[in-house]
Amino acid sequence: MGNFKAWVQAARLRTLPLSLSGIIMGTALATKQGVFNGTIFILALLTTVGFQVTSNFANDYGDGVKGTDNEDRIGPARALQSGWLTRSALKKGIIVSIGISFLLAIGLIYIAFGLDNLPYILLFLILGILSIWAALKYTMGSNPYGYMGLGDVFVFLFFGLLGVLGSMFLYTKSIAWTSLLPAIGIGALCVGVLNLNNLRDVVSDGKHGKNTLVVKMGFQNGKKYHFLLLVSALISFMAYIFIERLGITQSFFMIAFVPIVAHLIKVMSTQVPGALDNELKKLALSTFLLSVLFYAAVNYFL
């Protein structure tokens, strides 16, 4: 495989729409309050992509070094596992990706807060550093949290709460309490994507000591957990519609739950972990669709 293709493979571009969902949702919530800044929007998207690519490089490295990526694993081949990139090259790629992501984050913080809001600047610099730490420690190091069943918590916090509420705050410098509901909904769906990945890889992960929640609770209970995650997301958005008193035309974004429900039916009826691989893309793209439709709803129908 060519070097460029190897880096594209390691970047796992198919994961990017999911990571952008929180930014789009947070931007939509800010727009609903009459606040929008195109530069903040673009920089927030680019910064999130940077963090996600860093995480994907780190996961490729961490799982490859630990032997979790092997011939038993289902899904797209990994760059280190397949020999397309060496350990040294992937390490350098991680360092470069961290540098680019941090520079983007600094630019985003400056555009959002200027130099006069020191508390906000320090807060978001800390959040940026924590985001990089979370990206690296999911599978890298001697005690990666992804191997202890804590990945779900971090995905909910960083993709859901921080992604949605943090991006909203960049525009508005405030957070409406009702915005917590869409943040919970997006967070639950993002955790659902991770859980689906863990359901698919439950056999391989169990063999190699990656003790995800699914490995700990078992495949069948993992499917029940998946049901709870997706239903929680549905309830969160329904509650938001009720509290905000959105009309039918303002609530059309809920049609994104049609493919999500179809996906859930498929998952609950599946008994072979490997058969869930195609469902990852469906749930990730449905989550992205939900955020885009929500953005359209608050921009054109409120």
pLDDT in tens, 126-171: 999 999 999 888 888 778 888 888 889 999 999 999 999 999 999 9
Please check the confidence at residue 70 and state whether its pLDDT lies above 60.
no
Q: So what's the pLDDT on residue 138? A: 86
Alpha carbon separation from 49 to 56, 116, 163, 232 (Å, rounded) = 10, 27, 12, 26
Q: So what's the pLDDT on residue 35? A: 94
Cα-based angle 150, 151, 155 (whole degrees, multiple of 5): 125
Give the C-alpha separation, 114 to 107, whole Å.
Answer: 10
Model pLDDT for residues 10-50, shown as the tens digit of each residue: 778 888 899 999 999 999 999 999 999 999 999 999 999 99
Q: So what's the pLDDT on residue 76? A: 65
Look over the chain and give the mean of its residue pLDDT values, rounded to a whole number: 89
Helices (H), 3-37: 3-11, 16-32
Q: What is the DSSP string of 210-271?
A: ---HHHHH-HHHHHHHHHHHHHHHHHHHHHHHHHHT--TGGGGGGGGHHHHHHHHHHHHH--
Query: Does residue 109 sit in helix, strand or coil?
Result: helix
244-257 mean pLDDT: 92
Confidence band, pLDDT 50/70/90 cuts, at residue 277: confident
pTM confidence score: 0.92
Q: So what's the pLDDT on residue 123? A: 95
Q: So what's the pLDDT on residue 1? A: 45
Task: Return phi, psi of residue 91, to 5°.
Answer: -60, -45
Please check the confidence at residue 67 and state whether its pLDDT lies above 90.
no
Please check the confidence at residue 208 and state whether its pLDDT lies above 90.
no
Residues constituting the chain:
302
